[in-house]
Structure 1
Amino acid sequence: MRYADGPGVHDEVHIGAAPAEVWRLVADIGLPARISTELQRVEWLDGATGPALGAAFEGHNRHPMAGEWRTVSHIVALEPERLFTWAVTDPDNRFGGGPADPALPLATWKFELLPEDGGTLLRQSVRVGPAPSGLSVAISRMPDREEQILAMRLGELREGIRATLEGVKRLAEEPALDGGADAAAGAGSGSASGSGSGA
């Protein structure tokens, strides 16, 4: 396994709610930040107020080994109630990839929703690269440990995805809990990493 190959992880969960209700939650870019310990906050940019093809949002991240960094994500695929994909870029060139370009992201995240058994199958995935990221910086310092570094980070991302999926499931199946950070945080307690703004 190599960074240049664009490795990734995914997970999925069945939710006992209609795709429209699940979509309302996954289209809220602030939800992962309420669950995650890595993604600290997000905000729409350039006047955007919700998901639209080409819209951008800023993410602020913190990791005990990588420190703090800012990303700008661009929505690159959008089908309401079915697909939400965003490409994460490095606007400050912190990782040395040059000008931020959503066609060459440091990571690509995706939510997919499919009707299933009267509810919704929700899948979240992430693919890292091809642009340099904190992960590739770590690999450049210890190239002989590339597979171990990748496996560790992908494990963190998988845990973050699982926490996000479980948080969405809980909020969708118990709508009375929605609307409070405490409920989302409770749904995702134990999350080891962010879901949605970094790699």
Structure 2
Amino acid sequence: MRYAEVPSLSCEVYVEAAPSRVWSLVTDIALPARLSPELQRVEWLGGVEEPAVGARFAGYARHRLLGEWRTVSHVVELEEQRVFCWAVVDEDGRFGTPSRLPSHPLATWRFELAPDGAGTRLRHLARMGPGRSGVTLAIEGTPDREEEIVAFRITELRGNMEATLHGVKALAERAAQTPHWISA
């Protein structure tokens, strides 16, 4: 697959907890930094402290091949206890010309929740591009290996996404099983 095809992937897990509990975890933007090996920390921007369409947050990442960088994410879709989606842009120009346009992101991330029996079906989706990213830098360095580079990045992302999903599952299920009279 080529980068221009805007590769995407999704992972899914069943969580034995109510959607409201899962929602509180997936909309905690600091949580993935505790669960993912690449994302190091995040912070809300502009005085906002919770998800809302148009809200922005900075993410600080580290990768063994690219070093460290900052991105800015724009919440582009929010449906209470159903959908949390954000578009990631390169405001600092780490990967090329700086971009503030969430309509041309370097990646788009999404959580989808659906009630399923007594629990929640949680999907995590990612779409690479169409904006410039570390993947485009790697492709420019070795254009004859584009498909291999994209496949490698998809494998990395899948591992990070699965780590996040399993972390959310463990936290949500642990909280769901703790009797209310025991403080967390």
Bin for the TM-score computed over the shorter chain:
over 0.9
Structure 2 counterpart of 1:2, which letter?
Answer: R
Alignment of 1:183-194 (within 5 A): none
The corresponding residue for 1:99 is: 99
Residue matched to 1:131: 131
TM-score for the superposition, normalised by structure 2 = 0.94
Q: CA deviation at 1:99?
A: 2.8
Partner SS for 1:91: coil
Cα gap change, 1:82/1:151 in structure 2, threshold over 3 Å: closer, same or farther? same
State the distance in 1 between where 2:31 and 2:167 align: 9
Q: Is the 8 A contact 2:73 2:89 kept in 1?
A: yes
Q: How many residues align?
A: 178
Q: Which residue of 1 aligns with 2:36?
A: 36
Question: Residue type matched to 1:130 in 2?
Answer: P
1:25 and 2:25 are equivalent in the alignment: yes
- Structure 1: tracts of 5 or more residues without a match: 179-199
Determine the C-alpha separation between the residues in 2 that align with 1:157 and 1:97: 24
How far, CA to CA, are the matches of 1:77 and 1:176 in structure 2? Answer: 27
Q: How does 1:85-96 map to 2 (within 5 A)?
A: 85-96=85-96
**What does residue 45 of structure 1 align with?**
45
Cα deviation for residue 9 of structure 1 reads 1.2
Q: Who wins on radius of gyration, i.e. which is larger?
A: 2
Q: Provide, for residues 31-70 of structure 1, a one-character-per-residue CA deviation record: whole Å limited to 9, x for no partner.
A: 0001112111000000001000100000000001011110
- Percent identity over the alignment is 57
One-letter amino acid of the counterpart of residue 16, structure 2 = G
Corresponding residue for residue 181 of structure 2: none
Q: Post-superposition shift, 1:177?
A: 9.8
Alpha-carbon distance in 1 for matches of 2:98, 2:68: 19
CA distance in 2, matches of 1:153, 1:171: 27
- TM-score for both structures, normalised by structure 1: 0.87
Asked if 2 retains the 8 angstrom alpha-carbon contact of 1:9 and 1:154, the reply is: yes
Equivalent position amino acid for 2:150 in 1: L
Q: 1:23 to 1:176 in 2, by over 3 A?
A: closer
- Cα RMSD, aligned residues only: 1.4
Q: Distance in 2 between matches of 1:128 and 1:68?
A: 19
Q: CA deviation at 1:118?
A: 1.6
